[in-house]
Structure formats: structure tokens, C-alpha cells
Amino acid sequence: MNAHDQNAQATSGVDTMAAPAHTSDGARAGHAAGDAAPVTGGRASAVGGVILRATDLCKHFPVTTFFGKTKQVVRAVDGVSLEIRRGETFGLVGESGCGKSTLGRTLIRMYEPTSGTVEFDGKDITRAKGRELVDIHRRMQIVFQDPYLSLDPHMTVREIVSEPMLVDQRLSASEIDDRVVEILDRVSLHHDDMYKFAYEFSGGQRQRVGIARALSVNPDFILCDEPISALDVSIQAQVVNMLEDLQSELGLTYLFVAHDLSMVRHISTRIGVMYLGRLVEVAPADELYENPLHPYTRALLSAVPIPDPDVARASSRQILTGEIPSPLNVPGGCRFHTRCPLATEACEHSDESLVEVCPGHFVNCIVARDRAGK
């Protein structure tokens, strides 16, 4: 079994039915990524209290010598605080290598946090281990980016989808078949498909199998780790629409990691922008696209292709200069100041957290805050 399959199994659950979800006590006043903010954005959803909260979360990877001595540290996630509300889709965007996937996997405890805290449904899960961690993974699942490598080619769909159910449950063959058929129907696959192997499917069908595996234990929260980036454009829309339907039917909460900014706007309730291990802006989806405040967010949005040639010619592209700093050697002060066209001397020394500049809109930039009057 390859490493991807082992990762997939690491987030498998234990019961066929997940425990009922309990609404947490809501966001704490003054938290960095937004309490009591009105929820507006790319799509409507029934949004409740906070289901997932991270506070000053860090995930560092040591770089060691041949003899095992740590000589440097990769600061993949470095002091992230955010809240995700029950029933919403929180989009996460940024350049490759900014720490999006690492943040998501640390939040669901696939990776051990270096420091900081993670709370799920009001309970601190930062140091959960053993049976407690298995119970958490039952409620927090993942859909992997690569539908080819994340499925074991030696297992049938029935075995792939049923494996999480059987971690500590004894089910008869008929009960397994009934449950697998039900799940495959939810992801628009035929019941006969459960006897096929993964290599017999197209990329889009394989990703549906991956989604079916995540649904097999009735989770509350799903990390969608770039689930459409390896698919054709026409298939991407089908998968995204299916995820939206599943969210409406099952009351799921998503953390949706992606590069396609237009697709993120379509599916997300709120969006966070990451740069070099930190969140630099968080806002409702429409607000972020219509009123981006951080210079990095503006540069990202200016790179989105515009289908109307007249509008495209009239728009200006913001091209960033300079090299992307290495997470091995993070710049002091604002991490974006080495590439920012608006950087001042103060930016070289400012290292502040997200600040709310208007309802639900948080930004980590002293220049943007000054322009917004905050």
C-alpha cells in the first residue's frame, strides 16, 4: 500500500453513523478571524456557530543533517488563527507553497501541530491521541487532490468505501453492500461500480469514489484539498455542484483549498488568503472579490483571466516583482514587504495579526488598514 493510501486511511472513522453534532458556544469576542460577522458571500448556506477554531497554530518541519541534527526549520504554517462556522464553506487560496494544504491537514490532525491550539466543536483536540483521535477523524475527513494516487489500485470500490466503516464495527456483508450502494448513489455512481477497481474509472469518477470514502462515516467536516485541480474543466463543475448538493443534504462544513479563484468564489461562504505560512486577509467571498484590501490579494485577483476581451483590455494587471521568500528564511516584519508595491519602512518592522477593518473583513497590512481608516 502506498503512502497516499496510508494518509487516506489515517483520516478514516470508526462508526457507520457519526455522533450527532453539538453546536459550540460560538466565537470568542475579538478573535482574529471574525466573530459575529454577517455571513455573505459566493453562496447561501445555513451557517451556525463555530465548529473549528485555530489559535496561533504553527506547523514547522525540521531540516536535519545526515546525523539527525536540526540545522533549519521550514515554517510551513506560522501563527494562523481562524474560525470556521458550522455549515459554511471556507475557501483557502494562495500561491503554491504558501502552506494551504499543510494548514488544512494540521487542522484535521493528520499532522501534529508544533504549537498553538485546535478546537473542534468546542473541544481542544490539539494533543488528542489514540481512541480520541480516531473518534475525531471519524468526524473530520479529507478528499485528496490526486484521484489516481489516493485510491489503492488493488482494492475494489466496495473495499475502499467500506474500510473506514469497519475500523471497529462488525457489519454483515449485506449491511456493507446496502451502505456502499447508498453512498455511491449520493455521488452519482452506479451500484455495480462497487465491484470495480479504481483503475477502471476516469479521473472524475475516481474523485467521486474518494468523496464516497469520506462520506462513509457521516462526517461533520471535510477538508477538500484541491479536489478539482487534477480534473478537466467540465468535470470540475460537476464535482463542485455535487459537493454543494451534499452540503445542503447532509449539513456538511468544508475547508476548500484551491488555486482556481473563480471556482473558490462560486463555492465559498468566506475566503482566507495565505502568504508564506500566514493568513493575510479573510472576508466574505463577494466582499473579498469586490473590495480586496491586501496588496497580495489584489495581485492574485488581477491574475484571474477575464472572458470579456473588452473588459480584459481595460483592466490593469498587478505584476509582483522580486523572488518569493523561502519559508526557511522568513523576512522580518510584514512577510510580503519584499514584493509589495506599497511597502514602507514601517512594514519592515510591523508583524501584526489580522485586524477587522469592516464587518467580517480582516486584513494583516498596516498600509491597507491606514487606507481603510483603521
The ranges assigned to domains in the chain are: 3-324
CATH of 3-324, one of 3.40.50.300, 2.40.50.140, 3.30.565.10, 3.20.20.70: 3.40.50.300
User: Could you read off the pLDDT of 143-192 as tens digits, one per residue?
Assistant: 999 988 999 999 999 999 999 988 877 888 999 999 999 999 999 999 99
The model's pTM? 0.83
Determine the average pLDDT of the residues in 9-24: 37
Cβ atoms of residues 295 and 311 within 8 Å: no
Torsion of CA 261, 266, 272, 273, to 10 degrees: 10
Q: Among candidates 284, 233, 182, 251, which has minimal Cα distance to 20?
A: 251
**20 has pLDDT over 60:** no
**342 has pLDDT over 90:** no
How many Å is the Cα radius of gyration of the chain? Answer: 21
How many CB atoms neighbour CB 53 within 10 A?
A: 24
Those residues with Cβ within 8 angstroms of residue 92's Cβ, 6 or more apart along the chain or in another chain? 100, 103, 104, 255, 256, 257, 258, 271, 272, 274
CA distances for 304 relative to 133, 265, 287, 364, angstroms: 40, 12, 16, 22
Looking at residue 314, its pLDDT comes to 67
User: DSSP letters along 174-239, please?
Assistant: HHHHHHHHHHHHHTT--GGGGGSBGGGS-HHHHHHHHHHHHHTT--SEEEEESTTTTS-HHHHHHH
Highest mean pLDDT (candidates 36-40, 140-144, 314-318): 140-144
User: Could you read off the pLDDT of 207-232 as tens digits, one per residue?
Assistant: 999 999 999 999 999 999 999 998 88
Residue 319 cell numbers, joined: 505584476
Q: What is the DSSP letter of 255?
A: E
CA distances for 5 relative to 25, 113, 148, 149, angstroms: 36, 22, 11, 8
SS3 315: coil
Q: What is the DSSP letter of 276?
A: T
SS3 151: coil
User: Could you read off the pLDDT of 55-75 as tens digits, one per residue?
Assistant: 999 999 999 888 888 889 999
